[in-house]
Amino acid sequence: MTGLNATHDPARRSWVESANAAGADFPIQNLPFGVFSQGAGAHRVGVAIGDRILDLTALEASGRLVPSPQERVFADGVLNPFMALPQAIWSETRARIADLLDAEVGGPQGLVTVPLVEATMHLPIFVRSFTDFYASREHASNVGSMFRGPDNALMPNWLHLPVGYNGRASTVVVSGTQIRRPNGQLKAPDVDAPSFGPCRRLDIELEMGAIVGTPSTMGQPVTTAQAYDMIFGYVLLNDWSARDIQVWEYQPLGPFQAKAFATTISPWVVTREALEPFRVPTPERIKPLLPYLEEGSANNFDIHLEIDMAPSGAAPTTISRTNYRHMYFSSAQQLTHHSASGCAMCTGDLLGSGTVSGRTPDSLGSLLEMSWNGRDPIAVAGGTRTFIEDGDTLTLRGWCEGDYRVGFGACAGTILPAVDYGR
């Protein structure tokens, strides 16, 4: 299991001066991985440092960074070949990059860096599969109370296992991608038959995404300790949701079209190793877990999370502030449960945590909760909202704060009108 090492030293400084500024998302202690291009250039793998990107594809080609002597793992502009290497290589590569960027032992000579503002960011991984969970007790209790009443808010299985469903990897997109409002079947409570048309109750889900690096073997479950180590890193994740389509279609098998149209992730993958100083335990158990889900260490993280909402032409309004530490089931427990049947986990699998909600009205992770299913409008710049309107931009932000800041950057998307089937 990864512990603290020299890459976490709060005294380290980089020769990239912007990385040393107070409140910088990407100091030398972070070093998140991403994929970028310039102009019409090829996709390249890089690490964010301050306001610049260190080009790892160029660094590997020059021979100054060699994660694998058998192949160039950064040559294809995707992180999967690197994530598939042994976990010790992840750590050794991170340490080597930190040394190259260190103000005392490194220097800019022979290194290619690119200003962040000049780069176009791309999906950092090939998403092998996408699974979305439902692991915040506060969120599940709010939604359950809304539709079944407070006495039946949590389903009987909820406190015993991380509830989840298999989603669509094909529509996972990087931050900045515009999202088309989905069409689907809709049925109002006072009519006998459904109609077809644009979603009217479009929502967000503030989540974290865990990315699997080390695969598992079909038929071989993994422990929570093994699952923790298998995770390469984390991203912000917005699982866009069509609530009115969902409420009609989800029984008896769960979400389908209401979730399949888009999932947005942030472009920078913050490594599990970078998050080590910010580990916290899961909340106190209400009911004992079965032994296979028990954890021998603190596998949650203290990650501050925010949601900004900006109507077209208006300034953003922060509509939620919450924390990932509220999650009742950790990503390691989710991964363990996923493998418990013998399901093989693959390099590039993406696990959505489920909506992250806190206990107060200003810490909720979805508009469904904030507006209480449209009953209570939310104040934003230029007016109010109950759900998302065309032209609105939703932005998630996240960071850990201690002796230094480890940021995730932004996870943003703007809503376009639905396709008009009448044309």
Amino acid letter, residue 147? F
Phi and psi dihedrals of 310, rounded to 5?
-130, 105
Are the CB atoms for 173 and 262 separated by under 8 Å? yes
Contact 75, 60 (CB under 8 A): yes
Q: What secondary structure, in 3-state letters, does 343-383 show?
A: CCCCCCCEEECCCCCCCCHHHCCCHHHHCCCCCCCEEECCE
Of the candidates 209, 205, 210, 236, the one whose C-alpha atom is nearest the C-alpha of residue 142 is 205
Distances (CA, A) of 151 to 132, 138, 145, 252: 26, 14, 7, 21
Question: Are 273 and 91 spatial neighbours (Cβ–Cβ below 8 Å)?
Answer: yes
Report d(CA 333, CA 299) in Å as an integer.
9
C-alpha–C-alpha distance, residues 43 and 126, integer Å: 13
Give the catalytic positions in this structure: 139
What backbone torsions phi and psi does residue 47 show, to the nearest 5 degrees?
-125, 135
